[in-house]
Amino acid sequence: MPRLHAKHRTEIRYAGPAGESVNEIRLSPVGDGRQSVEWAHVRVEPAAELLGHRDAYGNEVRWFQLVEPHERLVVESEALVVTRPSAPCPAGDGGFTGLADPAYADANAEFLVPSAHVRWDAGAVGAFAEGLDLDEGDGVLAWLSGLEAEVNRAISYTPGVTAVDTPVADVVGAGRGVCQDMAHVMIALCRRRGIASRYVSGWLHLPGHEGPGESHAWVEAAVPGAGWVELDPTHPRPAMEGYVRLAVGRDYADVPPLRGSYLGPPAEAMAVTVEVRELPA
């Protein structure tokens, strides 16, 4: 059970003074079955009071307002989290028949329908789905594992070619993207198949990878009889004890690390650095 110390820093520089800025931060880990939070702090620069609440998905949110003109905004979140691997899944899940249960569709409705960044149709996404060779005979979990691998194979990890709002169809068509895109693609394919699926944002510790990284995105799917299971198309068959969960939602739009509105010129530069290291037990 690794003790992970994570530090996440976002710095935005504006092309001139910005003011009247109201923002929400989603960078505070919450304790649950997979992690315990020893401590967590968030700070901003210029300094501001941070008001906290839990949103509709149980994510920790910090709200703040900056009135005076400023040309630079820094948001920093630091935490010490003890992570655990995923709970083992029962052998033989409810299978695909479990998906047909109206109670499943009702309880998970919002994760079964298209959302802001997850849309699909018969075009690029449909063709891609048809082209996958996934066997339903071994149950939902196995199918999801297969999908995880297929998405990883089909989308080559390429920073800089996609944007925050690149549609799933475009990612599939170009075959390139980053973890956020791969997560959205996998969610689209799950939902298309009737498997409730949602987006997880967080921090990833890859042993052996030192040096600053970025924030990470992966997927959760509701498996009948097993509950929400975490998957990562960017790093298939993930060792979840390297993953710190920050927020969950239907897709990126529900969990951006920082969102808000201000008066002023556009941002000139935005830099995000994440450092995660394992501390001795």
Partner 1 sequence: MLARVAETLYRTARDLERADALARLLEVSQAAALEGEASNGAGGRLVWEPLVRVVADMDGFLATHRRADERSVPWFVTFGRDNPDSIAACLSRARANARSVRDRLPSEVWEGVNDAWLGLADWTPARLTRDGVYLFCRGIRRSNHLIVGLVEQSMSRDEGWQFMRIGRFLERAERTARLVQARHGAGDATMAGALDRHGWRAMLGDASTHEAYLQVGAAALSPESIGRFLVLDPRFPRSAAFCVGQVESAIEDLVAMDAMPVDPAPLTLARTARDMVDGAARRPWGGAEVPHLLERLLARCESIDAALADACFVAGYERAPIGQRAQASRQAQN
Partner 2 sequence: MFEAPDRPREAYARLYDGLARLRPSAFTARRALVDSAYLSQGITFDHGGREQPFPFDLLPRLIPAAEWGVLERGLAQRVRALDRFVADVYGPRRAVGDGVVPNALVSTCDGYLRPMVGVEPPLGRFVHVAGIDLVRDDDGTWRVLEDNLRCPSGLSYVVQNRAFMRRALPEAFGDHHVQPVGHAPFLLLSALIAAAPQGRTSPRVVVLTPGPANAAYYEHAFLAQQMGVPLVEGGDLTVRDRTVYLRTTSGRERLDVIYRRVDDAFLDAASLRSDSLLGVTGLMQACREGRVAVCNAIGTGVADDKAVYAFVPDLIRYFLGEEPVLEQVPTYLLGREEDREYALANLDRLVVKAVDGAGGYGMLIGPHATPGERRAFAARVAAHPRGYVAQETIRLSRAPVLVGERFRARHVDLRPFVVYGERPVVVPGGLTRVALRDGSLVVNSSQGGGSKDTWVLSS
Contacting residues toward partner 1, per CB under 8 A: 10, 12, 16-21, 23, 69, 159, 162-164, 178-181, 183, 201, 204, 213-217, 234, 252, 256-267, 270, 272
* 163 scored as a contact of partner 2 (CB under 8 A): no
Q: Are 73 and 12 in contact (CB under 8 A)?
A: yes
Q: How far apart are the first and last CA of the chain?
A: 8
Closest CA to 218 of 201, 203, 205: 201
254 binds, among partner 2, partner 1, none (CB under 5 to 8 A by kind): partner 2
**Which option in partner 1, partner 2, none does residue 178 bind, with CB closer than 5 to 8 A by kind?**
partner 1
Pick what 53 binds: partner 1, partner 2, none; C-beta below 5 to 8 Å, kind-dependent.
partner 2
Report the alpha-carbon distance of residue 66 to residue 264 in Å, rounded.
12
Looking at beta carbons only, is 95 or 202 nearer to partner 1?
Answer: 202
User: Which lies closer to partner 1 via its Cβ, residue 50 or residue 272?
Assistant: 272
Written as six digits, the tokens of 206 are: 């890859």
Closest CA to 141 of 94, 108, 86: 94
Residue type, 196: A
Q: Which stretch binds partner 2 (CB under 8 A): 15-23, 70-78, 130-138, 147-155?
A: 15-23
Picked from partner 1, partner 2, none, the partner binding residue 221 (CB below 5 to 8 A depending on kind) is none
CB 188 within 8 A of CB 118: yes
The region of 10-18, 29-37, 109-117, 124-132 touching partner 2 under the rule CB under 8 A is 109-117
Integer-rounded Cα radius of gyration of the chain:
19
Q: What is residue 92's DSSP assignment?
A: S
Q: Which is nearer to partner 1, 99 or 247 (CB)?
A: 247
Min dist. Cβ of residue 206 to partner 1 (A): 9
161 near 177, Cβ under 8 Å? yes
The residue type at 204: L
Distances in whole angstroms, Cα of residue 204 to Cα of each of 6, 10, 124, 170:
9, 16, 30, 26
Return the C-alpha torsion angle 29, 32, 34, 39, nearest 10.
40
Per rule CB under 8 A, is residue 101 in the interface with partner 2? no
Q: What is the DSSP letter of 122?
A: T
- Residue 87 interacting entry, from partner 1, partner 2, none, C-beta within 5 to 8 Å by type: none
Of residues 137 and 261, the one with the C-beta less far from partner 1 = 261
Q: Which of 259, 267, 269, 277 binds partner 2 (CB under 8 A)?
A: 259
At 266, is the secondary structure helix, strand, or coil? Answer: coil
Q: Which is nearer to partner 1, 52 or 265 (CB)?
A: 265
Question: Which residue stretch of 57-65, 71-79, 141-149, 167-175 sits at the interface with partner 2 (rule: CB under 8 A)?
Answer: 57-65
Nearer to partner 1 (CB atom), residue 131 or residue 237: 237
Which tokens in the block code for residue 66?
A: 């900056």
- For partner 2, the closer of residues 107 and 279 by Cβ is 107
Residues contributing to the site for partner 2 (CB under 8 A): 20, 22-24, 51, 53-57, 63, 65, 67, 105-107, 109-110, 113, 254, 259-262
